[in-house]
């Protein structure tokens, strides 16, 4: 006896129903696996893990899930797990510039500057206009003691994105270390934000003092305010270090190392500065 059209239709309907349920589940998981601080990091790890384990996600999608889970692991202070995930993303998609960039930042946060530089080289090779990779590689060179290469990289980051205030700030910090000329005043006119972190820029220009920078860290959004406070503490520490006050710099770097989110460059830099000063965070 042959199966008739009705039987085939019922079977097809069941298959489509299962596929639709899987699609809805995946959609829900992707809405949680964001790599952004809009969802609890542990919840992101669970959702990203489910997507990685799925037999229905394409390789490129799994690479994205690995990167996003790596970001979540990094924010949960599981840096080694983050590095493994970025590596899996690269295995899945070898031209994944973001995975190299994020793994470089993870190595940088561990103080493994050599590995960080290698990954930033790869990220830049895949995306020659990646200003963030130049800036982070500049920090890796800075904390490796290679000041000329640090200066070249942060300068390149500023050229690629002259309106990013953080590029200008880091170019100023490295210039101070290398006794190079300051370009912060010229950069001020190009900065896209006259709000935060403009007070940090004004502090380095000598227009205001650190206490005014901390007072300006007052965004109405509590999360943004916490980020601004951490940045105020870190950059005020850099200002104190330039002034030769290592005691105050150490105090402020310790505060930043405690307060900054783990995906902030300032958290990584605060820990690196403390290590350079011979102090445990």
- Express each pLDDT in 35-88 by its tens digit: 998 899 999 999 999 999 988 899 999 999 999 999 999 999 999 999 999 999
pLDDT bin (cut points 50, 70, 90) of residue 281 is: low
How many whole angstroms separate alpha carbon 153 and alpha carbon 180? 14
How many whole angstroms separate alpha carbon 222 and alpha carbon 200? 19
Q: What is the mean pLDDT of the chain?
A: 88
What does the buried/exposed string (b/e) look like for 139-154 if buried means 16 or more CB atoms within 10 Å of the residue's CB?
Answer: bbbbbeebbebbbbbb
Q: Is the peptide bond before 197 cis (omega within 30 degrees of 0)?
A: yes
pLDDT (tens digit per residue) in 210-234 = 999 999 999 999 989 999 999 999 9
CA 30 to chain centre: 20
Per-domain boundaries in the chain: 193-281
pLDDT bin (cut points 50, 70, 90) of residue 192 is: low
pLDDT bin (cut points 50, 70, 90) of residue 3 is: very low
What does each C-alpha distance from 170 to 37, 138, 178, 277 come to in angstroms? 24, 9, 12, 19
pLDDT (tens digit per residue) in 100-146 = 999 999 999 999 999 999 999 999 999 999 999 999 999 999 999 99
What does each C-alpha distance from 263 to 15, 28, 211, 248 come to in angstroms? 42, 25, 25, 24
Q: Is-contact 41 48, C-beta < 8 A?
A: no
> Would you call 189 helix, strand, or coil by DSSP?
coil
* Percent of the chain at pLDDT exceeding 90: 76
**Residue labelled with tokens 């079977």:** 11
Residue 10: predicted pLDDT: 32
103 closest CA partner among 51, 49, 141, 67: 67
Question: CA angle, corner 164, sides to 160 and 165, nearest 5?
Answer: 135
């Amino acid at each position: 006896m042959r199966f008739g059209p009705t039987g085939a239709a019922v079977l097809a309907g069941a298959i489509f129903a299962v596929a639709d349920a899987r699609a809805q589940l995946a959609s829900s998981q992707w809405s949680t696996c964001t790599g952004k601080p809009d969802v609890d990091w542990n919840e992101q790890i669970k959702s990203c893990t489910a997507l990685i384990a799925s037999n229905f996600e394409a390789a490129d999608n799994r690479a994205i899930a690995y990167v996003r889970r790596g970001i979540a692991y990094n924010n949960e202070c599981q840096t080694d797990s983050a590095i493994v995930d970025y590596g899996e993303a690269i295995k899945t998609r070898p031209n994944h510039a973001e995975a190299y960039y994020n793994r470089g930042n993870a190595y940088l946060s561990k103080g493994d500057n050599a590995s960080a530089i290698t990954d930033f080289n790869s990220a830049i090779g895949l995306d020659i206009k990646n200003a963030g990779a130049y800036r982070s590689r500049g920090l890796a060179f800075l904390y490796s003691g290679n000041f000329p290469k640090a200066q070249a990289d942060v300068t390149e980051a500023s050229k690629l994105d002259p309106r990013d205030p953080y590029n200008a700030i880091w170019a100023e910090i490295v210039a101070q270390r290398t006794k190079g000329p300051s370009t912060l005043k010229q950069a001020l006119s190009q900065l896209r934000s006259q709000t935060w972190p403009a007070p940090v820029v004004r502090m380095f220009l000598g227009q205001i003092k650190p206490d005014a920078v901390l007072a300006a860290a007052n965004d109405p959004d509590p999360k943004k305010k916490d980020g601004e406070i951490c940045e105020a503490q870190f950059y005020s520490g850099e200002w104190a270090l330039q002034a030769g006050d290592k005691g105050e710099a150490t105090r402020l770097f310790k505060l930043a190392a405690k307060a900054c989110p783990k995906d902030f460059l300032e958290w990584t830099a605060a820990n690196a500065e403390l290590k350079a000063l011979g102090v445990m965070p």
